[in-house]
């Protein structure tokens, strides 16, 4: 690896890893060298226009749907990784360099990338010239701004040429990366002033275009990649920057790009600031100014808006305020830096990202394969609902409308159409139950019970509408109507673990594991769904009591009791809960199995659902997890790993040992164990499990971990893998929501309930105090928790605005915006 001149020892002292550090006050992760172990990603955008942005400016931009409205191009899985993005080429004399290092990788005297909340600021300097590039999407705007500042740090005048660069995607990303016989003939652009208008297919059925413009005067432009880069060149040796002059190329087909040439003269110490604007514009009527010429009125207005003095800075200020206000609803001050960093900034930020993007577009998700997943989105709401409850409400109703009238669900839907699809199969027999969890979380957060009466259609009965509450009941009924021979819920194609496909025997490499089998005749049962069902019954019983329908509450209690009896009778294996019964009736996750003897999911969900209380099994199950599954990288999914392919278990054993669902650390489910420990009042264990997967604890092992140290990963390779400790699938994972639930509600103990905010910490004994501010139903609660006796749980006294209160429930204040809460444990 090339040593960069800025990586001096003095500099490294300040940084927590060789690649960067957390700037807690600024709420930024600061990357201090560009050649990170993998590209480290951030997201731009919070409403409809989104960008993926790595620490070297790589990534792409899309509007709402990464597949159908992709604005710029990003070839996945090539070499090098992260091969396309927002690039500025600086030509100084004959040298050509990029402030973000890529694509030329010319050495820099200084490099810094600050990933912040909805923005990335990249600064690079070379030969006495510093270029700062601030990338963000203003709230409410369908445009990405690139605020650019060029500084002459030296004492002689400089003449510089700057070239901007984006490569357009022809909107439908899958087509764009596969159907070249068509796409190489359809590309079109128009250029007017600084505005490069990407208008492919606008003449026919599209009523939108992409605009790439500049707020400063330009000296030239290019729109043909073949001209700007050269047919036989890589981006690192792009022809136009090397030659030093734009060629005013107009793309006809092939690969349209947008590039501006700017000529800059800067005296010693002088700087100049301007912005590039990458916008998405819809033009449904009046599409043309005159025959064959695109109506650019909105595009011109967009460029003009950000060309005004101060407009870009004002937009950035509004972005900063948006985020600070949003995150101010949950802030913690405690001694554990990883808890502060993640809770105050990164975990909440990741929760908003998973809510917005589900599993669609990341460094690992290409934005073409997966829409919004039913179970994923319901779980994402658990970590998001406190941020923007109204949007959670809308999402819950959208999700419910993709449920079918028998209670089953479309496993995913596309956000542009809200239509469910079966592209990755159906009959995942856990899906419908998650709707109960998200709905109850929403009502607890907001006290808005009106959502339960909202009319929502079933996807197969578009004319009739039932209430949301009806949907929740249908969900319960579906599980009850699909029980197996032990009385446990049937698993269908899979439960939460998509790869445990107990009814889908596949020996054909050309078919999908999830759809290979015959679910109708399948018998396999899931203990994990049983645990989830127990939990859902309790949630719903609580909701009914809140609605003052005790009869329904008792009905749900009985369902809980019945399933509990089945679980205790048929799912206990001696030291832990079984995972499942396979299609032949054989236990999965049992001490009698050759491999895969103990699984994590059923321990988590049985305990959370209330199994094993009063008979010692809950504790025994979690102790078994501790003993057999906890590793230095987190808790692995099962042990021993499967070393050969078991067709009767499905995709799980298709992964090499230690990766993904085959005994990798699947971070998402680690949170269920941490929450289980909270139920058992074991604060040390809970925090240990929570931190075991926490990315910010990985800075000292970052060469092994490789992923971003500021966002949770879906998976960390387990000890059975060839590369233990290596993270994959960062950013878009249910881990974000569950980690937030664990730390905020479980450990810190700040828990929304129907009756109000309850404070019931479960912390390590060594924690002597902490503070939390928590906005709840419009009131900011400033909570201080003291732990003079070094206990782990138990509220000894609770004062609300100086008044002693019984129990751990903070009464709802009348007419106050701020409330002081003092808690003493003991």
Alpha-carbon gap, residue 812 to 795, rounded angstroms: 18
Alpha-carbon gap, residue 772 to 331, rounded angstroms: 6
What count of residues does the chain have? Answer: 826
Alpha-carbon gap, residue 461 to 470, rounded angstroms: 14
Half-sphere exposure of residue 610, counting CA atoms within 13 Å on the CB side? 16
Alpha-carbon gap, residue 435 to 468, rounded angstroms: 10
Alpha-carbon gap, residue 55 to 272, rounded angstroms: 23
Q: Which residue lies nearer to ligand GLC by CB, 508 or 548?
A: 508
Q: Which residue lies nearer to ligand GLC by CB, 121 or 660?
A: 660
Q: Which residue lies nearer to ligand GLC by CB, 336 or 380?
A: 380
Among 65, 498, 573, 720, the one annotated catalytic: 498
373 near ligand GLC (CB under 6 A): yes
Residue in the structure block whose two tokens are 């810094």: 112
The strand pair at 779-786 and 818-825 is best described as: parallel
We find the least distance from the C-beta atom of residue 718 to ligand GLC, in angstroms, to be: 14
Binding mask of the shown chain, residues 165 to 204, with x at each position contacting ligand GLC by CB under 6 A? ----------------------------------------
Binding mask of the shown chain, residues 668 to 707, with x at each position contacting ligand GLC by CB under 6 A? ----------------------------------------
Q: Partners of 23 in the beta sheet? A: 28
Lookup: tokens for 61: 């931009």
Q: Which residue lies nearer to ligand GLC by CB, 145 or 516?
A: 516
Contacts of 85 (CB under 8 A, 6+ apart): 53, 54, 56, 57, 58, 59, 60, 74, 100, 102
Query: What are the two backbone dihedrals, phi and then psi, of residue 199, each rounded to the nearest 5 degrees?
Result: -120, 20
714 near ligand GLC (CB under 6 A): yes
Determine the interface stretch with ligand GLC among 370-378, 468-476, 484-492, 567-575 (rule: CB under 6 A): 370-378
Secondary structure of 50-88 in the HEC alphabet? EEEEECCCECCEEECCCCCCEEECCCCCCCCCCCCECEE
Q: Catalytic: 498?
A: yes
- Compute the chain's Rg from CA coordinates: 28
We find the least distance from the C-beta atom of residue 499 to ligand GLC, in angstroms, to be: 5
Angle at 359 between CA 355 and CA 361, to 5 degrees: 100
Q: Which residue lies nearer to ligand GLC by CB, 493 or 690?
A: 493
Lookup: tokens for 789: 């006796």
Alpha-carbon gap, residue 780 to 217, rounded angstroms: 48
Alpha-carbon gap, residue 818 to 157, rounded angstroms: 56
Residues that contact ligand GLC, how many (by CB under 6 A): 14
Lookup: tokens for 76: 């996945």
Determine the interface stretch with ligand GLC among 68-76, 319-327, 371-379, 550-558 (rule: CB under 6 A): 371-379
Residue in the structure block whose two tokens are 């994923």: 376
We find the least distance from the C-beta atom of residue 376 to ligand GLC, in angstroms, to be: 5
Q: Partners of 465 in the beta sheet? A: 457
Alpha-carbon gap, residue 428 to 203, rounded angstroms: 43
State yes or no: cis peptide before 547, omega within 30 of 0: no
We find the least distance from the C-beta atom of residue 421 to ligand GLC, in angstroms, to be: 15
Task: Please tell me what DSSP assigns to residue 504.
Answer: -
- Give the residue nearest to ligand GLC (CB): 498
Q: What would the DSSP string read from start to end of 98-144?
A: -TT-TTT----SEEEEEEETTEEEEEEEETTEEEEEEEE--TT-SEE
We find the least distance from the C-beta atom of residue 413 to ligand GLC, in angstroms, to be: 14
605 near ligand GLC (CB under 6 A): no
Region of 59 (left: φ > 0; alpha: ψ -120 to 50; beta: rest) is left
150 and 164 in contact (C-beta within 8 Å)?
A: no
Alpha-carbon gap, residue 211 to 179, rounded angstroms: 24
380 near ligand GLC (CB under 6 A): no
Q: Which residue lies nearer to ligand GLC by CB, 141 or 651?
A: 651
Q: Percent helix, strand and coil across the chain, each rounded to 5?
A: 30, 30, 40
620 and 573 in contact (C-beta within 8 Å)?
A: no
Q: Which residue lies nearer to ligand GLC by CB, 664 or 709?
A: 664
Binding residues among 715-754 for ligand GLC as defined by CB under 6 A: 733
We find the least distance from the C-beta atom of residue 729 to ligand GLC, in angstroms, to be: 7
The alpha carbon dihedral of 798, 803, 806, 812 has a sign of negative
Lookup: tokens for 546: 């809140």
Binding mask of the shown chain, residues 330 to 369, with x at each position contacting ligand GLC by CB under 6 A? -----------------------------x----------
158 near ligand GLC (CB under 6 A): no
Q: Partners of 70 in the beta sheet? A: 62, 171
Half-sphere exposure of residue 702, counting CA atoms within 13 Å on the CB side? 22
The strand pair at 713-716 and 372-373 is best described as: unpaired
We find the least distance from the C-beta atom of residue 714 to ligand GLC, in angstroms, to be: 5
Q: How far separated are the first and last CA of the chain, in Å rounded?
A: 54
We find the least distance from the C-beta atom of residue 460 to ligand GLC, in angstroms, to be: 23
Binding residues among 487-526 for ligand GLC as defined by CB under 6 A: 496-499, 513
* Coil, strand or helix at 292: coil
Q: Which residue lies nearer to ligand GLC by CB, 349 or 738?
A: 738
Q: Which residue lies nearer to ligand GLC by CB, 261 or 662?
A: 662
Binding mask of the shown chain, residues 656 to 675, with x at each position contacting ligand GLC by CB under 6 A? ----xx--------------
Query: Cβ-count burial of 372 within 10 angstroms (0-12 exposed, 13-18 middle, 19+ buried)?
Result: buried
We find the least distance from the C-beta atom of residue 431 to ligand GLC, in angstroms, to be: 9
Q: Which residue lies nearer to ligand GLC by CB, 377 or 392?
A: 377
We find the least distance from the C-beta atom of residue 489 to ligand GLC, in angstroms, to be: 16
Q: Which residue lies nearer to ligand GLC by CB, 373 or 484?
A: 373
Q: Which residue lies nearer to ligand GLC by CB, 361 or 499?
A: 499
Among 69, 86, 375, 471, binds ligand GLC (CB under 6 A): 375
Q: Which residue lies nearer to ligand GLC by CB, 114 or 493?
A: 493
663 and 628 in contact (C-beta within 8 Å)?
A: no
Determine the interface stretch with ligand GLC among 153-161, 373-381, 679-687, 777-785 (rule: CB under 6 A): 373-381
Among 188, 190, 651, 760, binds ligand GLC (CB under 6 A): 651
Residue numbers annotated as active site: 498
| Binding-site ranges for ligand GLC (CB under 6 A) | 359, 373, 375-376, 496-499, 513, 651, 660-661, 714, 733
């Amino acid at each position: 690896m090339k040593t960069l001149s800025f990586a001096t020892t003095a500099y490294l002292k300040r940084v927590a890893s060789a690649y960067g550090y957390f700037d807690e006050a600024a709420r930024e992760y600061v990357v201090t060298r560009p050649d990170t172990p993998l590209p480290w990603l951030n997201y731009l955008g919070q409403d409809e226009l989104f960008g993926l942005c790595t620490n070297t400016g790589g990534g792409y931009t899309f509007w709402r749907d990464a597949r159908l409205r992709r604005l710029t191009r990003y070839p996945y899985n090539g070499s090098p990784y992260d091969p396309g993005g927002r690039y500025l080429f600086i030509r100084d004399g004959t040298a050509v360099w990029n402030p973000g290092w890529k694509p030329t990788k010319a050495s820099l005297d200084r490099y810094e990338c600050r990933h912040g909340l909805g923005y990335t600021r990249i600064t690079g300097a070379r030969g006495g010239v510093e270029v700062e590039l601030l990338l963000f999407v203003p709230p409410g705007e369908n445009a990405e701004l690139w605020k650019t500042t060029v500084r002459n740090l030296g004492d002689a005048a400089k003449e510089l040429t700057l070239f901007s660069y984006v490569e357009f995607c022809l909107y439908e990303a899958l087509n764009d990366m596969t159907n070249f016989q068509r796409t190489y003939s359809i590309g079109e652009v128009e250029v007017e002033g600084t505005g490069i208008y990407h208008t492919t297919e606008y003449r026919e059925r599209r009523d939108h275009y992409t605009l790439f413009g500049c707020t400063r005067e330009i000296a030239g432009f290019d729109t043909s990649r073949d001209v700007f880069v050269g047919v036989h060149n890589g981006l690192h040796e792009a022809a136009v920057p090397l030659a030093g002059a734009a060629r005013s190329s107009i793309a006809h087909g092939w690969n349209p790009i947008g590039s501006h040439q700017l000529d800059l003269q800067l005296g010693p110490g002088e700087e100049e600031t301007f912005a590039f604007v990458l916008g998405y514009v819809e033009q449904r009527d009046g599409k043309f100014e005159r025959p064959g010429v695109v109506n650019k009125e909105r595009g011109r207005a967009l460029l003009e808006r950000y060309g005004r003095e101060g407009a870009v800075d004002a937009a950035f200020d509004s972005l900063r305020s948006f985020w600070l206000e949003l995150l101010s609803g949950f802030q913690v001050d405690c001694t554990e830096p990883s808890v502060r960093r993640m809770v105050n900034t990164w975990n909440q930020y990741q929760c908003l990202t998973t809510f917005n993007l589900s599993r669609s577009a990341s460094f690992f998700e290409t934005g073409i394969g997966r829409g919004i997943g039913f179970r994923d989105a319901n779980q994402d709401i658990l970590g998001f609902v406190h941020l923007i409850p109204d949007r959670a409400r809308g999402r819950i109703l959208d999700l419910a409308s993709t449920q079918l009238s028998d209670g089953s669900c479309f496993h995913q839907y596309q956000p542009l159409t809200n239509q469910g699809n079966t592209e990755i199969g159906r009959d995942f027999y856990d899906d419908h139950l998650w709707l109960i969890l998200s709905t109850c979380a929403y009502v607890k957060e907001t006290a808005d019970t009106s959502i339960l009466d909202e009319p929502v259609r079933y996807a197969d009965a578009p004319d009739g509408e039932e209430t949301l509450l009806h949907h929740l009941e249908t969900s319960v009924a579906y599980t009850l109507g699909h029980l197996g021979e032990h009385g446990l819920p049937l698993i269908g194609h899979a439960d939460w673990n998509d790869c445990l496909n107990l009814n889908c025997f596949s020996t054909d490499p050309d078919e999908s594991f999830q759809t290979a089998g015959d679910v109708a005749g399948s018998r396999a049962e899931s203990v994990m769904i049983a645990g989830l069902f127990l939990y859902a019954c309790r949630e719903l019983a609580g909701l009914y009591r809140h609605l003052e329908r005790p009869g329904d509450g008792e009905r749900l209690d009985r369902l809980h009791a019945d399933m509990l009896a089945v679980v205790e009778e048929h799912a206990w294996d001696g030291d832990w809960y079984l995972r499942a019964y396979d299609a032949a009736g054989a236990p999965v996750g049992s001490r009698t199995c050759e491999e895969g003897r103990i699984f994590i999911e059923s321990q988590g969900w049985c305990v959370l659902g209330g199994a094993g209380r009063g008979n010692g099994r809950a504790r025994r199950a979690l102790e078994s997890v501790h003993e057999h599954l906890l590793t230095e990288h987190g808790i692995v999914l099962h042990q021993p790993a499967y070393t050969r392919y078991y067709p009767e278990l499905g995709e799980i054993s298709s992964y090499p040992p230690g990766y993904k669902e085959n005994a990798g650390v699947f971070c998402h489910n680690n949170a269920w164990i941490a929450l289980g420990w909270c139920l058992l009042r074991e604060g040390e264990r809970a925090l240990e499990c929570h931190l075991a997967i926490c990315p910010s604890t990985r800075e000292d092992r970052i060469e092994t971990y490789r992923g971003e140290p500021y966002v949770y990963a879906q998976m960390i390779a387990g000890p059975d893998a060839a590369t233990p400790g290596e993270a994959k699938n960062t950013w878009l994972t249910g881990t974000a929501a569950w980690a937030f639930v664990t730390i905020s509600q479980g450990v810190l103990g700040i828990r929304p309930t129907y009756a109000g905010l309850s404070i019931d910490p479960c912390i390590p004994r060594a924690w002597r105090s902490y503070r939390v501010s928590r906005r709840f139903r419009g009131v900011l609660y400033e909570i201080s928790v003291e732990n003079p006796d070094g206990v782990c749980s138990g509220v000894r006294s609770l004062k609300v605005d100086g008044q002693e209160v019984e129990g751990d429930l903070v009464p709802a204040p009348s007419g106050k915006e701020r409330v002081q809460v003092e808690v003493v444990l003991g």
